[in-house]
């Protein structure tokens, strides 16, 4: 390795900074001679806080400005939550690798400590994710779902002030911010199938940068790379971003991978869910086939009413 300076680009939120520091730590451990710097960049998603995410509906909302810095050479690697990274990357950029996946499940945080099954028609549940909304309403059609925006701390404050009675967010966010004690309940994938790539940290690089490619490869977790690639293939085949009620989750055991995919109506009235287990070598092909299967089972009609 000849590179003596590595610039990491990231958003400035606490969660993004935690992730960038995790990458910095891994780089410093493997390349002690390199100087690693974190450069913070503001994205459109940070600027527009008063509009529901599902209404902005913009792919790359939290990533585009960082990618421009990467193309310009101001940074060498962009660190994002993989979940926020569109399945098709801009020209000349590529997903260099991923850190070992953290907590994949969503969590319920309620004001008075009641669990999901104890909530009722009087309760308002905050989420800005159509995927979570659909699964919450499928679990209990009586619940009232309200839109909530802002980072984890802002949302906690809003809930405590009475804006809602409970909310569902990614467990990884709570754990990374040291707020695990606020979690009421970890929701199992059977109840709340996580978003594609949830809990994984992405490292995006320039396509024509073999040196960074090798560096990022050396800190990449191959199991996470494999599972998230399959999940992203599912999402790409469905043609869904993070703003459609679609989910895919995969688990590896030995040389087998189990993929579960979901397409649901926003009001939870219809929910299609299918699983397939196959050899890890055919993970991507099977993920695409699973998406096609859900589309032809009625998923296409469901998604048409949303778009
Ligand atoms: N969409 C926002 C976002 N992007 C990444 C995370 C948390 C970390 C992760 O899920 O990987 C969150 C918060 C949330 O969904 O609650």
What pLDDT sits at residue 56? 61
Q: What is the DSSP string of 89-107?
A: PPTTEEEEEEPPP---SEE
Choose among 95, 71, 82: nearest CA to 204. 95
Tokens for 13, please give them. 């939120």
Per-residue pLDDT for 242 more than 60? no
Cα–Cα distance for residue pair 152/206, rounded to 1 Å: 31
**Ligand 1, residues 53, 54, 130, 173: which to mutate, most atoms within 8 A of Cβ?**
173
Pick the CATH number of 106-187 from 3.40.190.10, 2.60.40.10, 3.30.1330.10, 3.40.50.2000: 3.40.190.10
pLDDT tens digits for range 52-91: 665 665 667 888 999 999 999 999 999 999 998 999 999 9
Q: Which residue has the tokens 């929910």?
A: 271
Across 95-106, average pLDDT: 98
Cα–Cα distance for residue pair 66/31, rounded to 1 Å: 24
Tell me, using a 6 A CB cutoff, whether residue 103 lines ligand 1: no
Question: Which is the closest atom of ligand 1 to the Cα of 199?
Answer: 11
What pLDDT sits at residue 151? 85
For the domain made up of 238-306, the CATH class stated in words is: alpha beta
Q: Is the CB of residue 276 less than 8 Å from the CB of residue 254?
A: no
Tell me, using a 6 A CB cutoff, whether residue 45 lines ligand 1: no
Domain ranges in the chain are 5-99+200-220, 106-187, 238-306
Over its C-alpha atoms, the chain yields an Rg (Å, rounded) of 19
Query: What's the 61 CA to ligand 1 centre distance in angstroms?
Result: 13
Tell me, using a 6 A CB cutoff, whether residue 166 lines ligand 1: no
Q: Is the CB of residue 84 less than 8 Å from the CB of residue 65?
A: no
Helix/strand number for the chain, H first, E second: 11, 13
Sheet holding 5-10, edge to edge: 35-40, 5-10, 77-81, 201-206, 93-98
Tell me, using a 6 A CB cutoff, whether residue 171 lines ligand 1: no
Choose among 102, 150, 91: nearest CA to 126. 150
Choose among 164, 168, 166, 172: nearest CA to 187. 168
Per-residue pLDDT for 145 more than 60? yes
**Ligand 1, residues 13, 63, 83: which to mutate, most atoms within 8 A of Cβ?**
83
Q: Which residues make Cβ contacts (< 8 Å) with residue 237, sequence separation at least 6?
A: 287, 288, 291, 292, 295
The alpha carbon of 69 is separated from its chain's Cα centroid by a whole number of angstroms, namely 22
Q: Is the CB of residue 101 less than 8 Å from the CB of residue 199?
A: yes
Tell me, using a 6 A CB cutoff, whether residue 172 lines ligand 1: yes
Pick the CATH number of 5-99+200-220 from 3.40.50.720, 3.30.540.10, 3.40.50.20, 3.40.190.10: 3.40.190.10
Query: What's the 23 CA to ligand 1 centre distance in angstroms?
Result: 17
Tokens for 285, please give them. 């092909």
Q: Which residues make Cβ contacts (< 8 Å) with residue 270, sequence separation at least 6?
A: 264, 298, 302
DSSP state for residue 243 in the 8-state scheme: T
Assign 19 a pLDDT band (cuts: 50, 70, 90): very high
Assess whether the region 5-99+200-220 and the region 106-187 belong to the same CATH fold: yes
Tell me, using a 6 A CB cutoff, whether residue 170 lines ligand 1: yes
Q: What is the pTM of this model?
A: 0.93
Residue 189: Cβ-neighbour burial (10 angstroms; 0-12, 13-18, 19+) = middle
Query: What's the 242 CA to ligand 1 centre distance in angstroms?
Result: 10
First-to-last C-alpha distance (Å) of the chain: 47
Nearest-10 crossing angle of helices 14-30, 210-218? 100
Query: What's the 2 CA to ligand 1 centre distance in angstroms?
Result: 35
Query: What's the 3 CA to ligand 1 centre distance in angstroms?
Result: 32
Tokens for 87, please give them. 């399945």
ipTM over 0.90: yes
Per-residue pLDDT for 1 more than 70? no
Q: Which residue has the tokens 């966010």?
A: 173
Across 21-44, average pLDDT: 96
């Amino acid at each position: 390795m000849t590179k003596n300076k590595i610039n990491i680009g990231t958003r400035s939120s606490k969660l993004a900074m935690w992730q960038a520091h995790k990458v910095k730590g891994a780089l410093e451990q493997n390349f002690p001679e390199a100087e690693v710097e974190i450069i913070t960049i503001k994205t459109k998603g940070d600027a527009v806080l008063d509009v529901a995410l599902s209404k902005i509906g913009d792919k790359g909302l939290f990533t585009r400005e960082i990618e421009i810095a990467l193309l310009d050479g101001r940074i060498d690697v962009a660190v994002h939550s993989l979940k926020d990274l569109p399945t098709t990357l801009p020209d000349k950029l590529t997903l260099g690798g991923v850190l070992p996946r953290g907590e994949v499940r969503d969590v319920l945080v309620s004001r008075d400590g009641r669990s999901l099954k104890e909530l009722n028609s009087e309760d308002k549940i905050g989420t800005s994710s159509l995927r979570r909304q659909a699964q919450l309403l499928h679990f209990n059609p009586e619940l009232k779902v309200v839109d909530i925006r802002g980072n984890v701390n802002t949302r906690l404050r809003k809930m405590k002030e009475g804006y809602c009675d409970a909310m569902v967010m990614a467990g990884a966010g709570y754990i990374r911010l040291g707020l695990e004690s606020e979690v009421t309940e970890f929701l199992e994938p059977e109840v709340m199938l996580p978003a594609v790539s949830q809990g994984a940290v992405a490292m995006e690089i320039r396509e024509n940068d073999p040196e960074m490619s090798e560096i990022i490869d050396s800190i990449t977790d191959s199991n996470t790379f494999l599972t998230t690639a399959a999940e992203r293939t599912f999402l790409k085949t469905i043609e869904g971003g993070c703003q459609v009620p679609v989910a895919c989750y995969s688990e590896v055991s030995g040389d087998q991978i189990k993929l579960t995919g979901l397409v649901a109506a926003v009001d939870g009235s219809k929910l299609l869910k299918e699983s397939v287990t196959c050899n890890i070598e055919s993970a991507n092909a099977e993920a695409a086939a699973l998406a096609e299967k859900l589309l032809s089972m009625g998923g296409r009609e469901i998604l048409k009413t949303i778009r």
